[in-house]
């Protein structure tokens, strides 16, 4: 069964029936939201318990437990909870983190021992590689940020217990990520889980008198509160990719993005965009800010992944508001705690397609990376050309589907590896939602977007995507195909729950 | 079938099976929350429509529509929507407002014409009187603020369409009540409906560019946005009862409340209470503030119904935080828009008993009024001694159940009518949750609260409640019984959904 991006999707896999992807806006849900059980905490009942007690009280063999990844590579909560689960000899756990990082590599031991047998969530680095070689018993499921929120709300990703790290909480479970020694800023990933997990445990290293403010997660959603020494190291939020690129080629890509937006007539009052991390995206943000400031343009909002570069825009008046689901550096964390125009939003708000309308729908533009893109404008952000599953989808699908103009920023080559392919190794985001590809060796526009082609005609050099392909081929030839077996180790869900692609085991 | 407060509750009424009240904390729910249908608003779809279109799109015969009452007697939205429904010849509507006021008296015509045939919500004034004489076809159902939030979340009060007034909104449905010409402050009542109604329509008279901030109601919950000339007159928020009493007797009651709390050792750092409106409650707030300020006592929070008197406490340091579900004057409205320690909360947060713990559970004290109280400490706030149903329950049951000390403030007599009764005409709040009654002619403590009796022993004169009864009787004799028929016109639900009492038709 070939889906709408030409991938062969099995009818059933690992006990789950799969619906093939039929187009970015072809599926409207008829279901109801998942309804968690009602709680009843009466006056006088206390909610503070130890992690040991929380695991004993709520976790059992075969359950699904969830986490957010706001502390990214500094997170200590996933390891702490899974270690406690292992200690209590509980087996066959499905992990449903929003994302895992190199810091979670120790989970490999728990997978080998049968404590963890399934992961649904973004796999960044070593655990992705581990999955690529078939080491995780169940098929891993990757979802976009908005798609995961949707899946939790739909009950397709049913969470038995959510363990939600908070850098500030009170003993009744009101929680935020904005203050405290481990402050990480917006808590966008935690909202869907707090509202739809059957049980919710706040894990904090900063207990403050009741009631704290601001209240990101309300006490009413929380079963218990666990106090630990440290939920992690917030310096792990800011990884190496959070600096503006110094590569002249990539700086040139960033300049061309701004030039394209200006030539297309989109850079005017009201402009909004999705910011991201990564050296090129950061450069785009910086150059946009400079351009808008010079021209006196005031944008409506920037949606993030927020960095200090976006905080500059708010503070210097090139955007009116920041909508913030997660923070990528400590300047952003500091800003959200004090600026009322720096607004915390959930990842339901950000990108859940099965709502009354998510924020991405209102973005003028977004700038997204790629490990590969292809002649159909399909984009891969999950696997590398060698087939290794090394990254999550992030907000890629969501931003691409929602934004008026989706711009992929990528070099044409990475060393001797072409980024442009005839067909991407893995379809992470369908080409029908990708509009412009800005490389260091030319800009291509998706032929579906005649309006954009028309808008920049004669103002800027645009090339056919086939030309980019030929250029890459002439420089480095065809790349080696990955050494895949037939076995499927991962599913790439589209944000609406249909299946975009599968990832196969490497030999 | 007699319930736990001795009231005869039928097994079934108006097609609904009734569960008798068995005690304030006897019922723990085994159900799940009500799950509304998923929505799907895709990029490019617009959400602005006219009221006419919204009614046409969503409302049909026999449906339940809901409203919040933050504009109180200044509200224009209920009348506007029901008039449009009548115009479209739709019949048999159940109204589920959080409360109705004299300004809604025009609904009588729609009830007579069969447009509206049922009301579940607080009835203040003329519509309550109208119900008392049997003029509403279906039995009216009265719930506390927390109880209503619970009922909506449980699906027991299933809302087909919520029409939610907002004093500020954008065209995608993000909404608040804090800014604009019709600003009313916190939007606490709107949260449960926004999350659990099948359809949500924001009605605003102040459309602002996307995205507004702060966001009280998220766009993701909203189906459509309707712009009207005026959602109402915010001066109607502040009614005559929002001034401190000038009656020496009532001022004395207020002083005695503060004295009681001080003598009982409760007025110390960390103190928290529920503020309210009404001349005596306002005086209590003022006197508490004065006392705490003089003694250097800093409270943790005040929950409201917020007025300028509570804003004084926050600004002058006698409380650290305000938790605010609704505002009772324009100073409170102004404060919530700018002070990060003046925190908007929902009525789920405030008082829903079937959550992970609501705010009332954490209150040291609350001060509540009464139309009657009785020898069992039961309190009536719904009917008068003549049997007329003239008031809603408000947060009365919730505050009483949650607070460490529940204090009823009431005169012993109102003119020639005793406020103390052998048995109250209607049980609005069960005596087991009422601790202290402070009247102008003596203070009684519920014998269940031996701790409080012990705490003030020898420090303050306390009387048996029977003495208060005898005193009233000696002054004005026994009051006339209301002239009730057998027919039941109203149900008084306890906050957990069991039935406390019924209200009968007046002959």
Q: Which residue of A has its CA nearest to B402?
A: A43
How many C-beta neighbours within 10 Å does residue A232 have?
25
Backbone angles phi and psi of A281, in degrees to 5: -60, -40
Backbone angles phi and psi of B131, in degrees to 5: -65, -40
Backbone angles phi and psi of B170, in degrees to 5: -110, 175
CATH architecture for residues A49-236? 3-Layer(aba) Sandwich (3.40)
The pLDDT, as a whole number, for residue B238 is 82
Q: Is the pLDDT of residue A240 over 70?
A: no
**Cross-chain Cβ contact B29/A42 below 8 Å:** no
Q: Which residue of A has its CA nearest to B194?
A: A356
* Percentage, residues of chain A above pLDDT 70: 99
Q: Where does chain B hold its CATH 3.40.1080.10 domain(s)?
A: 31-236, 240-482
Look up residue B264 and give its two tokens.
């009982």
CB contacts of B214 in chain A (<8 Å) are: 340, 343
Which pLDDT tens digit goes with each residue over A346-392? 999 999 999 999 999 999 999 999 999 999 999 999 999 999 999 99
Q: How far apart are the CA of B475 and the nearest CA of chain A, in angstroms? A: 39
Instruction: Look up tokens 């519509």; give the residue.
Output: B127
**Cross-chain Cβ contact B209/A340 below 8 Å:** no
Q: How far apart are the CA of B379 and the nearest CA of chain A, in angstroms? A: 20
Give the separation between CA B364 and CA B270, rounded to whole angstroms: 9
CB contacts of A175 in chain B (<8 Å) are: none
Interface test with A, best of B191, B219, B220 (most A CBs within 10 A): B220
Give the separation between CA A173 and CA A190, rounded to whole angstroms: 13
Q: Buried b / exposed e across B384-398, counting CB within 10 Å, b at 16+?
A: bbebbbbbbbbbbbb
Q: Which of B172, B355, B28 lies closest to A195 in space, CA to CA?
A: B355
Give the separation between CA A381 and CA A390, rounded to whole angstroms: 9
**Cross-chain Cβ contact A349/B37 below 8 Å:** no
CB contacts of A357 in chain B (<8 Å) are: 39, 41-42, 45, 47, 172-173, 219-220, 222
**Secondary structure tally for chain B: helices H, strands E:** 14, 28
Average pLDDT, chain A: 97
CATH topology of domain B31-236: Glutaconate Coenzyme A-transferase (3.40.1080)
Give the separation between CA A142 and CA B385, rounded to whole angstroms: 64
Residue A499 · residue A491 · CB < 8 Å: yes
**Which superfamily does CATH assign the domain made up of B240-482 to?**
Glutaconate Coenzyme A-transferase (3.40.1080.10)
**Cross-chain Cβ contact B357/A25 below 8 Å:** no
**Cross-chain Cβ contact A361/B25 below 8 Å:** no
Backbone angles phi and psi of A459, in degrees to 5: -105, -15
Residue A390 · residue A349 · CB < 8 Å: no
Q: How far apart are the CA of B477 and the nearest CA of chain A, in angstroms? A: 39
Give the separation between CA B120 and CA B111, rounded to whole angstroms: 14
Q: Which residue of A has its CA nearest to B198?
A: A32
CATH topology of domain A240-487: Glutaconate Coenzyme A-transferase (3.40.1080)
Residue A290 · residue A318 · CB < 8 Å: no
CB contacts of A497 in chain B (<8 Å) are: none
Q: Is the pLDDT of residue A242 over 80?
A: no
The strand order across the sheet containing B499-506 reads B140-142, B484-493, B499-506
Interface test with B, best of A31, A40, A497 (most B CBs within 10 A): A40
* Percentage, residues of chain A above pLDDT 90: 96
The pLDDT, as a whole number, for residue B320 is 98
The pLDDT, as a whole number, for residue A297 is 98
Which of A200, A357, A404 is nearest residue B172 as measured by Cβ atoms? A357
The pLDDT, as a whole number, for residue B277 is 79
Blockwise average pLDDT, block size 10, chain B, 507 residues: 95 97 96 97 97 98 98 97 98 98 98 98 97 98 98 98 98 98 98 98 98 98 98 87 85 97 98 89 96 98 95 98 96 96 98 98 97 98 97 97 98 96 98 98 98 97 98 94 97 98 98
Q: Which of A442, A438, A353, A354 lies closest to A399 in space, CA to CA?
A: A353
CB contacts of B47 in chain A (<8 Å) are: 356-357
**CA geometry: angle A342, A343, A349, nearest 5 deg:** 145
Q: Is B252 exposed, middle or buried (0-12, 13-18, 19+ CB in 10 A)?
A: middle
Residue B162 · residue B63 · CB < 8 Å: no
The pLDDT, as a whole number, for residue A241 is 63
Instruction: Write the DSSP string, B139-159.
Output: PEEE--HHHHHHHHHHTSS--
Which pLDDT tens digit goes with each residue over A96-136? 999 999 999 999 999 999 999 999 999 999 999 999 999 99
Which of A211, A301, A321 is nearest residue B301 as measured by Cβ atoms? A211
Q: Which residue of B has its CA nearest to A46?
A: B357
Residue B163 · residue B204 · CB < 8 Å: no
The pLDDT, as a whole number, for residue B241 is 63
Helix axes A308-315, A279-295, angle to 10 degrees: 10
Q: Where does chain A hold its CATH 3.40.1080.10 domain(s)?
A: 49-236, 240-487
Q: Which of A55, A124, A113, A122 lies closest to A84 in space, CA to CA?
A: A55
Counted across chains A and B, CB pairs separated by less than 8 A come out at 195
Q: Is A263 exposed, middle or buried (0-12, 13-18, 19+ CB in 10 A)?
A: middle
Collapsing DSSP states into helix, strand and coil, what is residue A5?
coil
ipTM attached to this prediction = 0.97
Give the separation between CA B158 and CA B148, rounded to whole angstroms: 11
**Cross-chain Cβ contact B33/A31 below 8 Å:** no
Q: How far apart are the CA of B245 and the nearest CA of chain A, in angstroms? A: 31
How many C-beta neighbours within 10 Å does residue A453 have?
16
Diameter of chain B measured on Cα atoms? 74
Backbone angles phi and psi of A232, in degrees to 5: 145, -170
């Amino acid at each position: 069964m070939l889906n709408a991006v030409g991938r062969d999707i099995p009818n059933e896999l690992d006990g789950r029936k799969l619906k093939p992807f039929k187009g970015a806006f072809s599926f409207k849900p008829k279901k109801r939201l998942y309804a968690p059980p009602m709680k009843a905490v009466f006056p006088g009942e206390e909610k503070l318990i130890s992690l040991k007690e929380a695991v004993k009280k709520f976790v059992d063999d075969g359950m699904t437990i969830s986490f957010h990844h706001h502390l990214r590579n500094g997170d200590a909560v996933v390891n702490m909870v899974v270690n406690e689960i292992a200690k209590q000899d509980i087996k066959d756990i499905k992990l449903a983190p929003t994302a895992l990082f190199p810091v979670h590599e120790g989970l490999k031991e728990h997978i080998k021992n049968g404590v963890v047998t399934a992961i649904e969530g973004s796999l960044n680095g070593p655990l992705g590689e581990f999955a690529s070689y078939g080491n995780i018993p169940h098929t891993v499921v990757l979802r976009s940020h908005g798609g995961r929120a949707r899946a939790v709300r739909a009950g397709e990703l049913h969470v038995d217990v959510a363990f939600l790290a908070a850098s500030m909480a009170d003993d009744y479970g009101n929680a935020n990520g904005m203050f405290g020694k481990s402050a990480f800023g917006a808590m966008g990933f935690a909202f869907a889980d707090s509202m739809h997990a059957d049980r919710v445990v706040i894990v904090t290293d900063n207990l403050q008198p009741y009631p704290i403010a601001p209240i990101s997660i309300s006490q009413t959603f929380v079963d218990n509160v666990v106090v630990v020494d440290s939920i992690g190291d917030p310096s792990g939020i800011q990884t190496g990719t959070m600096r503006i690129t110094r590569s002249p080629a990539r700086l040139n890509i960033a300049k061309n993005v701004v030039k394209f937006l200006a030539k297309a007539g989109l850079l005017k009052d009201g402009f909004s965009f999705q910011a991201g991390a990564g050296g090129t995206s950061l450069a785009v943000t910086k150059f946009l800010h400079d351009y808008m400031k010079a021209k006196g343009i005031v944008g409506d909002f920037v949606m993030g992944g927020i960095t200090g570069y976006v905080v500059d825009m708010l503070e210097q008046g090139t955007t009116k508001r920041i909508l913030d689901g997660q923070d990528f550096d400590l300047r952003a964390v500091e800003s959200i705690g004090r600026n009322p125009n720096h607004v915390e939003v959930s990842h339901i708000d950000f990108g859940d397609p099965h709502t009354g309308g998510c924020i991405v729908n209102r973005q003028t533009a977004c700038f997204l990376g790629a490990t590969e893109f292809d002649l159909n404008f399909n984009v891969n952000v999950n696997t590398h050309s060698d087939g290794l599953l090394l990254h999550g989808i992030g907000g890629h699908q969501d931003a691409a589907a929602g934004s008026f103009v989706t711009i992929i920023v990528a070099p044409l080559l990475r060393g001797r590896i072409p980024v442009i392919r005839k067909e991407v190794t893995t379809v992470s985001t369908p080409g029908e939602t990708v509009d412009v590809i800005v490389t260091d060796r030319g800009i291509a526009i998706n032929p579906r977007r005649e309006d954009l082609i028309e808008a920049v005609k004669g103002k800027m050099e645009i090339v056919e995507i086939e030309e980019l392909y030929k250029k890459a081929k002439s420089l480095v030839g065809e790349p080696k195909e990955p050494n895949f077996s037939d076995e499927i180790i991962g599913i790439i869900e589209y944000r609406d729950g249909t299946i975009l692609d599968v990832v196969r085991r490497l030999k």
